[in-house]
Each structure stands twice: as C-alpha cells, then as structure tokens.
Amino acid sequence: MIIGAGPTGLTAADACVADGASVAIVERTAHVGGLARSASVAGNEIDLGGHRLLSSTPKQRRAWLDFADRLGGVPMSDIGRRSGILRDRYVVAYPFDTRQFRASVPWPVRARGAASLAAWKLRAPTGREDHNLDEWVKNRYGPFLAETFMAPHARKVFGVDPRDIPAGWAAQRILSPGLGSVLATALPNPGRTPRPADVVDRFFYPQGGVGVLWSGLAKLLGNQVNWLFGSRVTSIAKPAGGRIAVTVAGPAGDTTVSCNRVISTGRPEDLAMSLGLDELGVAIAQRSGRRDLVVGVVHVRECPDSWYGYQWLYTHDTGIRAHRFNNYGEWQSLHCPLGVIGLEYTVPTGETLDVAVTALKDMSILLPGGAVDFLGSERATDAYSNFDASADQLGLLDEALRGFGEGVVSTGRQGAGIYINLDQAMRLGERVAALSPRHSGVVGRDEYSPYQEKAS
C-alpha cells in the first residue's frame, strides 16, 4: 500500500509494479500529482506553485527526457529561469543581479542599501556567524535590503519570523554576492532601460504544465494499481503473520486492506495517529505549522512593461496579501495568454480565504486603475511547512516505526519532512520501493541536499 499519489508515491508504485507486486494507492483528493499537480481555471492551464524540472547537469536532462519519452513523448521546453521582486512598481531581479538592480531601482533605495551594508560590516570587522535566515541575509546584503526584499517573503510564505528559519535554508536558495558588488549598486544609474536579469539557470518544462507527467504516469499504471481516491488511512495494525491490516475510510465507508508493506508519502502526523501514536502526531502537527497554497487567477488586460520577461514576481508592498504571482503568459509551455496571473496566498491549513475579494484588492494596489478580471482559484493543501522545526519529532517517529514492526516507511517531501526537488522526489520513490520488505522508519532525511536553485 502506498499513501499519497504525488511524484514520490507514483514513482514508488511504478517501481513496485515493475517488480511484480500488487499495489494499492490511497489518495485523499481526487487528483494525482500531489503538490506538483496542474489545474485548469477558466480554460487556462496553470501550475500550483513555481515547479520546474531542474536540468543543470547532463544526468538530470537525460533522466527527464527519457521519462517524457516513456510517457509517449511529452513535449519538453528548455526555459531560462527569470524571477523578480516587485516593490513600489519597480522590479528587482531574484537571484540578485547587480546591473539590473542599478538600472531598475531608485537611487535613494540603492544608496540606503549600500550604506546599511557598509555600517553592518564596520560594526563587526571580523565577521558574524550565520545562525538563521535573518543573520545570513544581513551579513551579505545588510539590514536594509534584508528587511526590504528578503524577510517579508519568509513571513508571508512560512508564517514565521526569519530568525526561526535556519541559515542552511538561505545558503541553498539565495545567491551570496561579493561585498563590492552590493556596495557598487549605489553608483549612478548606468542609464540603460530596466530589463530582466540574465538567466541564472535553465530548466525543462513540459507542454501543458508539470502535472501532465504525473497524470501520464498514472495512465501508464492504469489497472495495474488499485486506486483509492477520496480516501484516507485511519488505522494500521501491527504485522501479524507477515501481513499488515490497514483500515481505509473512503466514499463507500471503511475497508480493511491486507498488505505486506506500507509506504506513506503523506503527512507524518497522520501516519503517527493511524499507528495510535496520538501525542506524537499532535506534536508533529504543532511544530510543522502547515500552510495551504491558494492561487487566485486573474486576467490583467494591460500588464506594465516591467512585468514582461518574468515568470515569477514576489510581491511585498504594504497592504498586499499575496506573496508572489506566477506570470503564466511568460511560461511558454502553458496555454495561457499574456496577462493571466496567478496570485499565490498561504494560509494555515484548512483556513478559509475569500480569494476573489483578496485578489482584486491586491491587484488594485499593484495596478491602480487597471482593468482586472477574476477567473477562479485552486488550492494545494499542506504546500508549505517549517520542516526544520519538526526534525526532532520526525526522529521520534523514525524510532516509533522501527519499534512498531516491519514494513512501514514514511518518506517523500511530507513524510520525511524535507524540501525536495522533483527529480529527487522520484529517485526517493525508486529507493523506497527497492528497500527490504522488513525495513521500517523515516526514509529520505539525507535527501536534504543543496536545493540547486543555482546551477551546480
């Protein structure tokens, strides 16, 4: 039995079927793809979040192209990544680009940023240690730029203070510029027209959105798998005679399924509670601070010139609740016209949000007087979590699973509590499928490797 039909779960199922096993997949929604699924809103294909297929190495490129061929020849585009931070109607390239920053940002902002960094360095000439995200960014960009461009994103997305996020998170995701390059931004504007920054890395992107990969894999598996959609596991009994009894609550009521292995890629607190470890489940849930991603899709009849060329724009202006928007018309591989925007909101899991009212209010700030139409919304449950905060509890879950009995594994982004790329997620699915049936525990904590936002 596999819990969760996301990339890790589907890949594990694929490997198990290839090995001759019979497989059941329990999926609480009606969709495959998990957090990496696509959706259609008012006839526009969208992805929930900023997914992409990292392809900075020949091995990554070959793996994605082979996978696309196996699914029947899914067309793949080779796209250069461009993202930025939208502040007061100007755009700052992200990752940081000195030339674009000087060309786009008003001189008073650049001067304050350089002065802030210089003063920060002078007060600690021998340097400071990086204990958390807040310190890591300040030590490289200075307090002013950190609070203006970096910290608001952490507060909006994760709902926690940057001081509560480890420095390792920043080191894997944010470029570390030289001191001189940041100070040089205070020099006079070079006089060029603001433009998107140079491409930092390239990635593959399937025509129709990243979700076509998972729907294609599910179609390939077909009736080789017992699909249990709209269902959830409520209890897992200790192995008896080499078999595990799993109770599944679904549309037709409760069903007991007998299996010799359970691979859970869902929330670890749900797995803990299904094993009767209620206190541990509550502790994991509290520490994780899970948040849903809600995407409000609008159509802007006339986009500002500064928005063109960027696939993502982070939005931190006062009064704007969205933390970022996907500029779907710039994605090339989605069937969306220019001007179709997906505003992204994070809310505590299960909390309601009037998406239409909120999105239109945000657009009135981002684009005063602009003509904007609300098209609809989609929601991805548990898209964000403070995984690092729950690391100790996941260690306890690992011990509990090993003591529970053979054959119960927790893995994947949710199950192992890791930030993970899609190629890593698939490799993890293959890895757990190949484990001994007797293996129990949390698998994949060691997959917390460099995020590769920067080409390696």
Query: Residue 392 belongs to a domain with what CATH number?
Result: 3.50.50.60
Mean pLDDT along residues 215-223:
97
Same domain, 17 and 163: no
In a domain, 440, yes or no: yes
- Measured CA to CA, the distance from residue 165 to residue 387 in angstroms comes to 10
279 in the same domain as 424: yes
Q: 282: domain range?
A: 2-36+209-287+387-447
- Domain shared by 274 and 395, yes or no: yes
* Same domain? 249 vs 123: no
Instruction: Output the average pLDDT for the chain.
Output: 88
pLDDT in tens, 309-339: 888 898 877 889 998 899 998 887 888 888 9
The least confident of 89-103, 138-152, 239-253 is 89-103
Residue 152 inside a domain? The answer is yes
- 86 domain residue, yes or no: no
pLDDT bucket at 343, cuts 50 / 70 / 90: very high
Report whether pLDDT(270) > 90: yes
- 125 in a structural domain: yes
Q: Say if residue 103 is in the same domain as residue 162.
A: yes
Same domain, 276 and 404: yes
User: Is residue 145 domain-shared with residue 107, that is, in the same domain?
Assistant: yes
- pTM summary value: 0.85
Q: Determine, yes or no, domain membership for 322.
A: no
Higher pLDDT, 342 or 171: 342
Number of domains in the chain: 2
pLDDT at 179 over 60: yes
pLDDT in tens, 376-414: 999 999 888 888 788 899 999 999 999 998 999 999 999
pLDDT tens per residue, range 433-453? 999 999 999 999 887 544 443
CA dist., res. 371 & res. 368, Å (int)? 9
Residue 140 lies in a domain: yes
Q: CA 362 to CA 318: how far, in whole Å?
A: 10
Q: How confident is the model at residue 1 (pLDDT cuts 50, 70, 90)?
A: very high
- Specify whether 181 is located in the same domain as 126: yes
Find the helix or strand (DSSP H, E) in which 300 lies.
strand 291-300
pLDDT (average), residues 24-52: 90
Q: For residues 163 and 121, state if they share a domain.
A: yes
The pLDDT of residue 454 is 40
Instruction: Give the model's pLDDT for residue 254.
Output: 96
Statement to judge: residues 393 and 279 lie in one domain: yes
Residue 139 is assigned to a structural domain of this protein: yes
Regarding whether 262 and 136 lie in a shared domain, the answer is no
What pLDDT is attached to residue 172? 65
Which of 186, 220, 241 is the last residue before a domain boundary?
A: 186
Whether residue 216 is found in the same domain as residue 277: yes
Contacts of 212 (CB under 8 A, 6+ apart): 38, 71, 74, 206
How far is 63 from 263, CA to CA, in rounded Å? 24
User: Has residue 271 been placed in a domain?
Assistant: yes
Burial of residue 305 (CB within 10 Å: 0-12, 13-18, 19+) is exposed
